[in-house]
Amino acid sequence: MIDTLVFVIGGMLAAATSILFASLGETVSERAGVLNLSVEGMMATGAAAAFGIATLSGSHALGFIGGGLAAGLLSMVFAALVLVFYANQVAAGLAVGILGLGISAFIGKPFEGNTIEKIPKLDIPGLSDVVLVGPILFHHDVMVYLACAMIFIVAYVLKRTQLGRMIRAVGENPQAAASNGIPVRLVRCGAIGFGGFMAGIGGAYLSTAYTALWAEGLISGRGWIAVALVVFGSWLPFRVALGAYLFGGISLLELSLQSHGVKLPSQLLSASPYLVTILLLAFISRDQYRLRLSRPMALGQTYRNES
Amino acid sequence: MLDLALVPRTERSRSAPIVVPLIAVVLTLICGTLLLSLIGKSPAAVVHSFFIQPLSSLNGIGEIILKAGPLILIAQGLAIGYRANVWNIGAEGQLIVGAIAGATLAIIFETSNSVFLLPAMMLAGAAAGAAWAGIAAFLRVRFSASEILTSFMLSSVALQLLYYLVTGPLRDPMGMNFPQSIVFGSAALFDVLIPGTRSNMSIFVGLAATVLAWFFMSRTIHGFRLVVGGMAPDAARYAGYSSARAIWLSLLIGGACAGLAGVGEVAGPLGMLQRNLSPGYGYAAIIVAFLGGLNPIGIVFAALLMALLYVGGDFAVVSAGVPNASATILQGMLLVFYLAASLLFTHRIVRKSVKVAA
Amino acid sequence: MTVPLQHPKHAALQNDGLLVLDGITKAYPSVVANDGVSVAFRKGHIHAILGENGAGKSTLMKIIFGVTQPDSGTMLWKGEAVAPRGPAHARALGIGMVFQHFSLFETMTVAENISFALPLPLKELSAKIRDLGERLDLVVDPGQPVHDLSVGERQRVEIIRCLLQDPELIIMDEPTAVLPPSGIPKLFQTLRKLADDGRAIVFISHKLQEIRELCHTATIMRAGRVVATVDPTVTPESELARLMVGSAIPAPKRDSHGFGTSPALKIESLDLPAPDPFAVALRDVSLEVFPGEIVGIAGVSGNGQSELVKVISGETRLGASGAGAVRLGGEAIGSLRAGGRRARGMAFVPEDRLGRGAVPSLSLADNALLTAPARSFAPKGLVSFSKVKDLASAIIAAYDVRCGGPDALARSLSGGNLQKFIVGRETALDPKLLIVAQPTWGVDVGATAAIRQKLIDLAKKGAAVLVVSDDLDELLEITDRIHVMFRGRLSDGHRAPFDRNAIGLAMTGFIAGEERATAHA
């Protein structure tokens, strides 16, 4: 029983990490008023690029940086579409998402089916040995801790800093932001780029640390779940993170149910993350009054600066 | 100082609907060729296998027709929703569920020779696709849940449902455990269109959908109301048009079309229910809908182009050794360039001399 | 009689102004907004820019503040040529602006809002805000979120934000338009104090009395050009009006007629919770409008007027149990959609023309179809395009809509012409009840007069007309009875002859005979 608990809760943190990076990035992008639906494609590109770089260079660190940059670069295509060409954000997100999936398959082709060494677990002296708490909380790789730290960093920047206020201003009312002298496009472009970089890191974590293998279709909908979690978390970093960890828990629970021989069709288990997401979305969206308090008011609207 | 400037249009452009997709295609060609020559493929060989080979054999043309059929059908349905600002991106799942429903009938009436079997399968497929999309409509209308996310998630669920059925209840008992159903009887199949090819009569379903979509959107008050809701939701509310109705209508139409396309696959080239039902038609149709300018006629041309890309991609993989993923990248590029060029719908480029104040 | 103060060209040459504009020209695709505008602003002066809607005042201010760039012309700031590249640049030069449509962020606090103009730690900034507020008697709480503030308080925030940057020139864009009458003297007091400090103030307005009371100089613009620069304290109001319009403003013709005896619209004790966090809840609202009567709803904007209008128009629907709270000709319509209400004789001209009253990217013909009864214009669901086009052409002819015909896109029309089209479309429905929100917002003088006359004519024919307007003078001119909205409540009716002061007080929440004077705005 205790083993299961350690497996589920400890595993939950690791299972959530990839999605957590991506949804924190998307949170920032959406707080700036930009709905970027290409997360799936950006994660895939990041995952493939990171896997390739880590395999060739032997360095996981280079892999992560490369994965983040590759997805960040891809997000600039999206940024150009919505900020320069005034494209509809939904359509642009779909376009770049498809492009990203293609690119990931393209660059991942030589590595299809390969595996890679996982990044080492960092034990924190003193804490890792504590009964129960140690193995659950303090026996993870560095990225799990980093993802955790990112929650606090993103929340702090959005709430407390001038940069965060600029991001929120641009997401609430870009016209007013412009007349306040805030460079709307630059801020939005930065937010999109951050979202892309984080999605890339999330993808990189999946391919080079969590599963430690590359196969086309590795992301399998995690990018979309990351987008859904931003709504679930009503654009607040801590709630988004809560959603991501909850999600990690559910996917772990499936594995442990299966390993305990619970008789359910494997397909039902595979479909369960999506079913859960749909239910959560319906549950959280039904209270529009409350959501409207936190939803960036200009989310999804094209910003044109031509008066 | 001579300068090019973008100026918002004050009236609709007549040439943009032609020029914009053309720019997208040309840019995609250039970038695609560049990309493939980067990995050492000869541009000439790539262009040959993508665009010449498919068109130079009867078989190639048959394949193009075969693939254009579902793309036209799905894209017509999606475009109606997109014009109403309802973003159904789960056509792939609606196609799968439609195929399952049609196949179930074909399996139950395995030995039937009735001429009504195929029409019944089509009806069942359309209804199932519509019902699957209807879940997203219900969640949006009742709970305000984003149909973008739910329709996508439902696709993933549909795929698992298919896997479950072909490995369980609908598996061919004599099929040596292969994850596929029995082979359908001929009454459950579309007739071949061009002998010697795989193309079949289902293309006419797509063409009929084109005519219906055109009529619905440009002649009826219901189409008009959808367009108003998409362009200006406040104006639709002001006029008293029901947004719930627009959401239901958009998703049901899109789902029915995709479901019908699913029947076209199992009752066409596949002849059975199996794991791989569609090479991503449900997603490619999104691109087709946009590339066609959400216009019923434009969609037909866009679908033919996309089908060419599919077939050419297959040839290119075999004869030019191009990676599988190339077709996906080209699809993505096509949509990216199309959206960028779409600026010309609302703006025109003028050359103007500007005297800038000191 | 015009009293020429200085010829504009001459002023430009004099170079003694703080800011001197010379030959500023700015053209948009459909209109030349500024055509060779020259004007000089001086320290310690309150300088009015006077002109009707569309005269080019706003464009000129945007150019000064760097929001847009002129096609040609020069700007001299303290004698040196400048070309503000953006608001930040203009601010750095010492130019500040208080916008008409506030550029504040609802979800942020006062201090957070001001931090964009003055990037200081919030604590330090809050102290400065309090300090300045006390000095100039502009009190706001720096920690309060903006969506909790009244319109007057928001304007204070805008002014404080502007002043904290210590500008030498302050542009005030129609600052009185959003204030209740009782808030105006205080604003003027503040502006005079600022001018006495040696700042130049540019006061944009089309209200002649205010300009005569406050300003030292007035530059009058018409159709993008400067027509005169005068001393408003000695120039008679009629002369200012003539300069502004180019001809005398026609007053609407009215004659008395009786009203119907049973109300066309009856709202009874309507309570409606706010539909979203930034809206106003309606509380115990009762209202009757009789056939032949024009009833006005006055109030500072944001006190529940738009929520009330939506309940009447059907854009907000009540549940079946509450349907009886809104009655049209005696029938409960509260739960019907707008279409059902139209079929029963309602018509509605909303305040947002583009995107609500009309679809910008559709033709006028299509926009005529928007509210046309489907039974006759789309029998069996099939649109009769020829009939729709005829309808649009008829509206265009009857209401003198200047446009390229029924195929012209709605967004290609000027504000005044589009409003004439929408008013024409709605009156063509031959309504029993016409609701009009802000009938003349952003509409030029000629169209304003035409629209007001149409409303009066419609009432004379026996329709009930409900007019919601921020412009009290408009309501005083055309209505028979005025109710005032304040924080979601509707006052009792004031009847003609109107007591302007009493209505003005009611706009700030003061109701005669009650000890509830919460002058807040």
Look at residue C220 and give its three-state secondary structure.
Answer: strand
Q: Which residue has the tokens 């004789």?
A: C345
Q: Is residue B216 part of a domain?
A: yes
Distances (CA, A) of C274 to B51, C279, C366, C493, C520: 60, 5, 33, 24, 20
Look at residue B82 and give its three-state secondary structure.
Answer: helix
Asked if residue C289 has pLDDT above 90, the reply is yes
Q: What is the pLDDT of residue A282?
A: 92
Q: Is residue B159 part of a domain?
A: yes
Q: Is residue B15 part of a domain?
A: no
Q: What is the pLDDT of residue B111?
A: 87
Average pLDDT over residues C125-129: 94
CA distance C453 to C124: 55
Closest to C383 (Cβ–Cβ): which among B221, B228, B232?
Answer: B221
CA distance A53 to A114: 13
Asked if residue C99 has pLDDT above 90, the reply is no
Bridge partners of B8, per DSSP, are B347
Spatial contact of B348 and B19, defined as CB atoms under 8 Å apart: no
Residue B79: which H helix or E strand, with range? helix B58-83
Chain C residue with CA closest to A161: the answer is C121
d(CA B81, nearest CA chain C) in Å? 18
Asked if residue C177 has pLDDT above 70, the reply is yes
DSSP symbols for C370-388: HHS-HHHHSGGGB--HHHH
Asked if residue C14 has pLDDT above 80, the reply is no
Q: CB neighbours (10 Å) of residue A307?
A: 12
DSSP label at residue A188: H
Total structural domains within chain B = 1
Q: What is the pLDDT of residue B352?
A: 61
Distances (CA, A) of B245 to B76, B138, B316: 19, 11, 45
Q: Does A192 contact B at CB distance below 8 Å?
A: no
Asked if residue B116 has pLDDT above 80, the reply is yes
Among candidate residues C313, C338, C336, the one with its CA nearest the CA of residue C466: C313
Asked if residue A229 has pLDDT above 80, the reply is yes
Q: CB neighbours (10 Å) of residue A191?
A: 28
Q: What is the pLDDT of residue A1?
A: 62
Digit-coded pLDDT (tens) for C444-475:
777 888 899 999 999 999 999 999 998 888 89
Q: Does C338 contact B at CB distance below 8 Å?
A: yes
Structure tokens at C59: 């464009």
Q: Is residue B341 part of a domain?
A: no
Least confident range of C8-17, C210-219, C294-303, C313-322: C8-17
Q: What is the pLDDT of residue C12?
A: 43
Q: What is the pLDDT of residue B140?
A: 95
Average pLDDT over residues C170-174: 89
Burial class, A200, CB count within 10 angstroms (exposed 0-12 / middle 13-18 / buried 19+): buried
Ranges A7-16, A55-64, C24-33, most confident: A55-64
Q: Does C358 contact B at CB distance below 8 Å?
A: yes
Question: Which of A115-149 are b and which e, b meaning 16 or more Cβ less than 10 Å from the residue's Cβ?
Answer: ebeebeeeeeeeebeeeeebbbbbbbbebbbebbe
Structure tokens at A111: 């590595």
Half-sphere exposure for C66 (CA within 13 Å, toward CB): 20
What part of C 397-456 touches B (C-beta under 8 Å)? Answer: 404, 408-409, 411-412
Q: What is the pLDDT of residue C174?
A: 84
Q: Which residues of B touch A106 (CB under 8 A)?
A: 323, 325-326, 329
Q: Which band of pLDDT confidence, cut at 50, 70 and 90, is reported for residue A306?
A: low
Q: Which residue has the tokens 């000439």?
A: B44
Digit-coded pLDDT (tens) for C254-284:
777 788 889 999 999 999 998 877 888 999 9
Spatial contact of A99 and B32, defined as CB atoms under 8 Å apart: no
Q: What is the pLDDT of residue B63?
A: 93
Digit-coded pLDDT (tens) for C474-518:
899 999 999 999 989 999 999 988 888 889 888 887 765 454 444
Bridge partners of A213, per DSSP, are A115
Least confident range of B22-26, B161-165, C154-158, C276-280: C276-280
Closest to A102 (Cβ–Cβ): which among B152, B163, B331?
Answer: B331
Average pLDDT over residues C75-104: 87
Asked if residue B134 has pLDDT above 80, the reply is yes
Question: Average pLDDT over chain B, rounded to whole?
Answer: 90
Asked if residue B146 has pLDDT above 90, the reply is yes
Average pLDDT over residues A79-107: 95
Q: What is the pLDDT of residue C307?
A: 94
Structure tokens at C406: 């029924």
Inter-chain touch B357–C75, beta carbons under 8 Å: yes
Look at residue C307 and give its three-state secondary structure.
Answer: helix
Q: Is residue B334 part of a domain?
A: no
Q: Does A96 contact B at CB distance below 8 Å?
A: yes
Structure tokens at B6: 């973008």
Structure tokens at C214: 């406050």
ipTM of the predicted assembly exceeds 0.85: yes
Digit-coded pLDDT (tens) for B45-84:
888 888 888 898 899 999 999 999 999 999 999 999 999 9
Least confident range of A55-69, C414-428, C482-496, C502-516: C502-516
What part of B 256-315 touches A (C-beta under 8 Å)? Answer: 283, 286-287, 290
Q: Which residues of A touch C110 (CB under 8 A)?
A: none
Q: Which domain holds residue B180?
A: 32-324
Work out whether strand C72-77 and strand C46-50 pair parallel, antiparallel, or are unpaired.
unpaired
Q: CB neighbours (10 Å) of residue B123?
A: 18
Chain B residue with CA closest to A306: the answer is B8
The backbone torsions φ and ψ at residue C65, rounded to the nearest 5 degrees and listed phi first, read -85, 0
Asked if residue A6 has pLDDT above 80, the reply is no
Q: Does B222 contact C at CB distance below 8 Å?
A: yes
Structure tokens at A113: 């089916």
CA distance C111 to C124: 10
Structure tokens at B231: 């362009």
Q: Where do the DSSP E strands lie in chain A?
A: 121-123, 139-141
Digit-coded pLDDT (tens) for A131-153:
777 777 777 888 999 999 999 99
Digit-coded pLDDT (tens) for A248-276:
888 887 777 777 777 778 888 888 889 99
* CATH code for position B75: 1.10.3470
d(CA A278, nearest CA chain B) in Å? 6
Percent of all residues in chain C with a pLDDT value above 90, rounded to a whole number: 52
Q: What is the pLDDT of residue C10?
A: 45
Q: What is the pLDDT of residue C247?
A: 66
CA distance C18 to C38: 14
Tally of helices (H runs) and strands (E runs) in chain A: 14, 2
Q: Does B1 contact C at CB distance below 8 Å?
A: no
The backbone torsions φ and ψ at residue A102, rounded to the nearest 5 degrees and listed phi first, read -65, -45
CB pairs under 8 A between A and B: 138
Spatial contact of A300 and A90, defined as CB atoms under 8 Å apart: yes
Q: Is residue B356 part of a domain?
A: no
CA distance C447 to A77: 47
Burial class, A113, CB count within 10 angstroms (exposed 0-12 / middle 13-18 / buried 19+): exposed
CA distance B139 to B244: 11
What part of B 135-154 touches A (C-beta under 8 Å)? Answer: 139, 142-146, 148-150, 152-154
Q: What is the pLDDT of residue B159?
A: 95
CA distance A34 to A19: 19
Q: What is the pLDDT of residue C520?
A: 41
Q: Is residue B22 part of a domain?
A: no
Question: Average pLDDT over chain C, rounded to whole?
Answer: 87
Asked if residue C133 has pLDDT above 90, the reply is no
Look at residue C15 and give its three-state secondary structure.
Answer: coil
Q: Is residue B252 part of a domain?
A: yes
Question: Average pLDDT over chain A, rounded to whole?
Answer: 90
